[in-house]
Structure 1
Amino acid sequence: MHWAALLAAVTGIPFVVDAGAILRFSCSQLVVERLDPLVNPGINPSPHLHQVVGGNAFNVSMNPDTHDIPSTATCTTCTPADDFSNYWTATLFFRARNGTFKQLATKGNPLGYTAANGGQTVYYLGPNSGKVTAFKPGFRMTVGDPTFRTAAQIKKYPMLTYTCLQTGSTRGGETTNFPTKPCKVGIMVSIRFPTCWDGKNLDSPSHQDHVAYPSGGKCPSTHPVTVPQVFYETIWDTTPFNDQALWPVDGSQPFVWSFGDPTGYGVHGDYVFGWKGDALQKAMDAGSKCNSDLLQNNINCPVGTTQTIQKGNQCSKKVDVNENLEGWLAELPGGMKVQ
């Protein structure tokens, strides 16, 4: 099977069937804590809980003017050993009938990365033709909006979806809200960032205005520079709660994001670039020769040094926020309300 066709089959995203570079790898869990150096820089703790993967330079501020990520980090949870970027999302909770909450764990992707200590699968995708400009030091962005609660609102971000995994290879049937039935293997959350950049700003006040999605296959004139598509797949282990006798009496779904969203429409992701040197640019320049094995931990791309998943599992950082996250909680961390 052609690499691009296999990518479509594995990820369920036909809009990249003609992709050029396909860089796919595992990033094990680094830390789960209430820090958000993008949206809430310098605030400890941040309002809601996040799960973070990547380099261990992750901290409360990460000021791009003073914080050189590749030289500060000493390890990364990702397979490319030169990738000290940080990738993070909110965390998922199960809400019991009595109103208490239990944090869910992430798990390694069944398609090649079962050895990972949770975390997520990360992709960098390039188009089948044309120049792809890798991100620059200091680049960061977010996608999604944690305040969204309706199907109409999430239309702004159609590339943020959920897949109810009945098997490890289930693809298709994506929804923009939480699945409404038990998922035998878990819930996979897919977060796909924009691929067009204004070519000037490494960030913006909204953390989104400096990037845009293409229209009609082309980048808008306001954002003319094509950048790799950063794409996360996070698999949440919902299997301990597949018994619907544990679900709400009215049959509604029981999962809630750490920021209090019971609908799923508020899903969002954060990204801070931290590749060492020109490793990412070399991968994108390789085009279709960069064709990561989608079913094994084999990158097949010129990204410098690589490491095993087991080595990535050993990377860690000190937890900066001291709070209890174990067992059943009377409320979401930070006192976030479900609404």
Structure 2
Amino acid sequence: MSYASLPEPDASRPPSRHRPPSWFVRNRLGLAAGAAVALVIATAGVYLGGADVTPEPSNAANALEYPSPSAGQAESPGAATSTSATPAVSATPSASTTPSTAATPKVPTTGWIPVDRAAWKAQADAYQKVKVDPVPAGVGNLPEFRADCQYSHRLPDDPIVAPGLPGASHMHSFVGNKAVDAHTVAGDLTTFTATSCKPVQDHSAYWVPTLYDNATGKPVETTGFRVYYRSLAKTSTGQMPMPNGLRMISGDAKKKKPTPRGATGQFYCAFYGPGDLDGIARSTNGNWPICGGNATLHFMMQFPDCWDGRHLDSPNHKDHVAYGSGNGCPSSHPVRIPAITFDIQYPAKGTPAGYYLSSDKEGKSASSMHGDAFVMWDVDTMNKRTKNCVLQRRTCDNDGYQK
């Protein structure tokens, strides 16, 4: 399996190297660079945001057109129902990978969902006490760890945007936790832990709109879905782990602009060796590359690296997180967390007929590509990997240090 790397600072497209560097150029993917540097947190410093600060809405508001549940809707931080960051797990969880269906399905809480402050403080305190493992010789200096995932299942559900409403979204392709559907809440991710990811300590769920072959109407599912947790900055000062239960979205499902050669936010061709990453040709509508040689379609997507320290979600699923700038996070989002990056590989080379995403069947561009992350890890594993790999700026794979 090949994985494309991220773009060089002065390049107009991602290079063909498969090994990602330790930084990320946000302009290539059309992502905002964020506010000016406001706060750099000391290594043992702040891990809870101010108790009385309501985040201002961002300019990158989520614009998905899904209906909202009529119950359990929290309109503001003060109205939100508390949701535990580390939900209790039944003493005798079911062996099934599919949650049982109750007579009255639960409607997950939405809106400003507060973190369980006691649980987060306990995780942060434990993180500060974690000792760094000895680093074997030859380990790289890319500050990251990862999970390698395979396609799990496909549903017209979205437990972040349309929780409790099965069939309310466009079709999504899920990787990671195998039990995810419209009714999934954080506790389900710890009870039903069967996963298509390695390491198995990653119980998270990740999903993107389903890709379809325009000529046949058949879905094209991923053959490789790598999830990086990395530092985007030049230093890891103040680095903290990811809180369990955090959910967020990258991209815009309503964006329906053409994606011609050279456009930001397009699929590209990746493989080992030289070649044209924008394709040797384009689909008839110009929106999709046709790959040469051994190249196949890839897509890369970056999530924010700063958190407000107070909420696991927000009404638009974006305002509780933010992109850092330089080596700092904005004062409104002072907690530096690992930045999730999706590196997605498809078993398709491109055709004149091209493709379409379930989020834009009519326009058939790639601009509506977006991703969802519902984070849930074994806490000790998350803490250890963040300390060993991201804070210490060492390259780790699914099992730890990468040799």
What is the TM-score when the length of structure 1 is the normalising length? 0.67
Letter in 1 for 2:290: K
Letter in 2 for 1:275: W
Higher helix share: 1
Cα displacement string for residues 197-246 of structure 1 (whole angstroms, at most 9, x for unaligned residues): 1111110000001111112342112111111010111112223x54x4xx
| Structure-1 residue corresponding to 2:298 | 188
Unaligned runs of 5+ in 1: 109-119, 153-157, 248-253, 302-339
| Structure-2 residue corresponding to 1:121 | 226
Aligned to 1:106, the other structure's residue is in SS state coil
Please say if residues 268 and 299 of structure 2, whose CA atoms lie closer than 8 Å, have aligned partners that are also in contact.
yes
CA deviation after TM superposition for structure 1 residue 181, in Å? 3.1
Letter in 2 for 1:255: Y
Choose which of 270, 291, 308 in structure 1 pairs with 2:395.
Answer: 291
Cα displacement string for residues 83-107 of structure 1 (whole angstroms, at most 9, x for unaligned residues): 10001101111112xxx51211321
Aligned to 1:15, the other structure's residue is in SS state coil
| Structure-2 residue corresponding to 1:24 | 146
Choose which of 96, 103, 106 in structure 1 pairs with 2:222.
Answer: 106
| Structure-1 residue corresponding to 2:178 | 56
Unaligned runs of 5+ in 2: 9-16, 26-139, 280-285
What is the TM-score when the length of structure 2 is the normalising length? 0.57
Residues 1:276 and 2:381 are matched in the alignment: no
Residues 1:207 and 2:329 are matched in the alignment: no
Letter in 2 for 1:69: L
Relative distance call for 1:300 and 1:170 in structure 2 (3 A) is farther
| Structure-2 residue corresponding to 1:131 | 238
Relative distance call for 1:60 and 1:218 in structure 2 (3 A) is same
Please say if residues 34 and 49 of structure 1, whose CA atoms lie closer than 8 Å, have aligned partners that are also in contact.
yes
Identical-pair percentage: 29
| Structure-2 residue corresponding to 1:90 | 209
Relative distance call for 1:290 and 1:46 in structure 2 (3 A) is farther
Relative distance call for 1:289 and 1:121 in structure 2 (3 A) is same
Residues 1:40 and 2:162 are matched in the alignment: yes
For residues 229 and 53 of structure 1, the distance between their equivalents in structure 2, rounded to whole angstroms, comes to: 18
Relative distance call for 1:174 and 1:11 in structure 2 (3 A) is farther
Please say if residues 196 and 224 of structure 1, whose CA atoms lie closer than 8 Å, have aligned partners that are also in contact.
yes
CA deviation after TM superposition for structure 1 residue 283, in Å? 0.8
Aligned to 1:278, the other structure's residue is in SS state helix
Report how many residues are paired. Answer: 260
Please say if residues 151 and 221 of structure 2, whose CA atoms lie closer than 8 Å, have aligned partners that are also in contact.
no
Relative distance call for 1:148 and 1:16 in structure 2 (3 A) is closer
For residues 83 and 228 of structure 1, the distance between their equivalents in structure 2, rounded to whole angstroms, comes to: 14
CA deviation after TM superposition for structure 1 residue 171, in Å? 9.0
Please say if residues 56 and 84 of structure 1, whose CA atoms lie closer than 8 Å, have aligned partners that are also in contact.
no
Choose which of 214, 219, 234 in structure 1 pairs with 2:329.
Answer: 219
Choose which of 188, 200, 206 in structure 2 pairs with 1:81.
Answer: 200
Residues 1:258 and 2:378 are matched in the alignment: no
Choose which of 334, 343, 361 in structure 2 pairs with 1:233.
Answer: 343
Letter in 2 for 1:145: D
Cα displacement string for residues 163-203 of structure 1 (whole angstroms, at most 9, x for unaligned residues): 212x246799579x943434553210111101011111110
For residues 233 and 76 of structure 1, the distance between their equivalents in structure 2, rounded to whole angstroms, comes to: 18
Choose which of 186, 189, 194 in structure 2 pairs with 1:69.
Answer: 189
Aligned to 1:281, the other structure's residue is in SS state helix
| Structure-2 residue corresponding to 1:315 | none
For residues 248 and 242 of structure 2, the distance between their equivalents in structure 1, rounded to whole angstroms, comes to: 11
Residues 1:15 and 2:15 are matched in the alignment: no
Please say if residues 163 and 171 of structure 1, whose CA atoms lie closer than 8 Å, have aligned partners that are also in contact.
no
CA deviation after TM superposition for structure 1 residue 60, in Å? 1.6
Please say if residues 6 and 21 of structure 2, whose CA atoms lie closer than 8 Å, have aligned partners that are also in contact.
no
Letter in 2 for 1:181: I
CA deviation after TM superposition for structure 1 residue 147, in Å? 0.6
Note the aligned Cα RMSD (angstroms).
3.2
For residues 229 and 171 of structure 1, the distance between their equivalents in structure 2, rounded to whole angstroms, comes to: 29
Please say if residues 55 and 75 of structure 1, whose CA atoms lie closer than 8 Å, have aligned partners that are also in contact.
yes
Aligned to 1:10, the other structure's residue is in SS state coil
Relative distance call for 1:163 and 1:14 in structure 2 (3 A) is farther
Aligned to 1:42, the other structure's residue is in SS state coil
Aligned to 2:18, the other structure's residue is in SS state helix
Letter in 1 for 2:156: R
Please say if residues 268 and 289 of structure 2, whose CA atoms lie closer than 8 Å, have aligned partners that are also in contact.
no
Letter in 1 for 2:322: A
Residues 1:149 and 2:251 are matched in the alignment: no
Relative distance call for 1:22 and 1:12 in structure 2 (3 A) is closer
| Structure-2 residue corresponding to 1:164 | 269
